[in-house]
Amino acid sequence: MKKIWFAVLVLLVSTMLAGCQESETMSFKVEVVNVTGTVLLSESIIFAEDDEETLIDLVDEQVGLDYSVYDIGVFVNGVGGFYPTEYGITYNYYYSLFVDGIPTSTGIQDLDIQDDMSVSFVETTMLDETDLEIDRLIQVFIENHYSTYVNNDTYEHYVLAAIEQLGLHGYQAPLLSSLTLNYPSPILSRTTIAETFKTTVFEKAYDLDLNTTKTALAGFEASNPYDAISLLTALSMTEGSSEQIVDILDMLTSSTPAYMDADYAGMLLLALAPYREDIALHKTIEEMVTYIQTMLSVDGVESWGNANSSSTATVILGLVAQGINPRGENYTTSGTDLIEALLKYESEGAYKWLLDDEQANMAFSTPQVFSALVAYKIYRDVYGNPAFNLFGF
């Protein structure tokens, strides 16, 4: 009898061992690493030795995998709820596939599953360090300084325009609709051309009724080139009187200020942007571009003897409005382009006026530089790099 029970016991143990062998489990690691090298996700994927599921199936089931299938293979959009920076907006950032720490040219659909292997989805970009820094600094400004410039009590028109443009182009940006807009009349004034221009930017950004502003603009006559630029820009934004616009264009193209500077050249390029296809304006545009090129330095654009951030930002806004790359060869001095020069003035997410300044200039330089960086980024990110006008809502 004992022999019989012993035989049964041996049979049971053998069966159990066989079952264990059939269901032996293995694992591999899946990681998601962002562009700065930070590991966002690290999970072990469990699978049976004889499992017929693909790597894609296993990762999708146990972590979550968002992917698209094309004729050339599988493109991974996101892993475990993590997506590349600006996903759905640009292709500046994407995931590269690494196996055991080594980049692989094999598509994920063709990878063989191995025990203890490591599969990493590493955020990758073709942007250089300067362009990466621009993207970072735009977000730093939004996080640390935006509310100083646009809030329930006041607004700064350069910052407001830049934030609106980021939103219009699909980037992550504060919602302007979250503000109550109970601004007193001095803030939304139409007494002077300069004030009315700022009010125009505000009303366009919030898609408000422009009739009162249009009436005010129609009653102005610019007495100097700087007012003419502001008036032209506001009329362009509100589709003002064509006759009034033609008169201003004639004024701006027939003379220049008695004391010409790079700021004026950049402002004029920006104001002329909506009409840049007009052959009659080409001579003036070329003159402004040529003048700007004579005012370049390794520290940016010089104005009245000093390179400074405000003048550099103003010129950049004008150049991209004309479809000109401020990082191009013609705007590079001793290996430093205008964008690289502008970033020299950065101080904790804000910007100094002069390089030797101890503190950032929050009133003028910081909002102007922020808007210039946003304008350049949008210009840079759109395929073909078409001209981009900060005030062209």
Encode 199-227 in three state secondary structure. Answer: HHHHHHHCCCCCHHHHHHHHCCCCCCHHH
Reported residue count of the chain is: 393
Closest C-alpha to 265, from 224, 316, 199: 316
Torsion angle, alpha carbons of 192, 198, 248, 245, to 10: -120
Write the secondary structure of the chain as one string of H (helix), E (strand) and C (coil): CHHHHHHHHHHHHHHHHHHHHHCCEEEEEEEEECCCCCEEEEEEEEEECCCCCCHHHHHHHHCCEEEEEECCEEEEEEECCECCCCCCCCCCEEEEEEECCEECCCCHHHCCCCCCCEEEEEEEECCCHHHHHHHHHHHHHHHHCHHHHECCCCECHHHHHHHHHHHHCCCCCCCHHHCCCCCCCCCCCCCCHHHHHHHHHHHHHCCCCCHHHHHHHHCCCCCCHHHHHHHHHHHHHHCCCHHHHHHHHHHHHHCCCCCCCHHHHHHHHHHCHHHCCCHHHHHHHHHHHHHHHCCEECCEEEECCEECHHHHHHHHHHHHHCCCCCCCHHHEECCEEHHHHHHCCEECCEECCCCCCCCCCCCCHHHHHHHHHHHHHHHHHCCCCCCCCCCCC
Q: What is the pLDDT of residue 247?
A: 96
pTM: 0.89
Q: Which fold has domain 26-125?
A: Ferric Hydroxamate Uptake Protein; Chain A, domain 1 (2.170.130)
Check residue 185 and give its pLDDT.
59
| Angle at alpha carbon of residue 14, lines to 12 and 19, rounded to 5° | 95
Low-confidence ranges of the chain (pLDDT < 50): 1-20
pLDDT in tens, 218-237: 999 999 999 999 999 999 99
From CA 184, how far away is CA 65, in angstroms rounded?
Answer: 51
Q: Which two tokens stand for residue 30?
A: 């899946």
Using DSSP bridges, classify how beta strands 25-33 and 118-125 pair: parallel, antiparallel or unpaired: parallel
227: left (phi over 0), alpha (psi -120 to 50) or beta: alpha
Domain ranges for the chain: 26-125, 129-187+256-381
In this predicted structure, what is the pLDDT of residue 315?
A: 98
pLDDT for the residue 24: 84
Residue 35: name the closest of 117, 135, 173, 108 by CA: 135
The neighbouring-strand residues paired with 42 are 31
- Residue 11's pLDDT is 46
Tens of pLDDT, residue by residue over 140-153, are 999 999 999 998 88
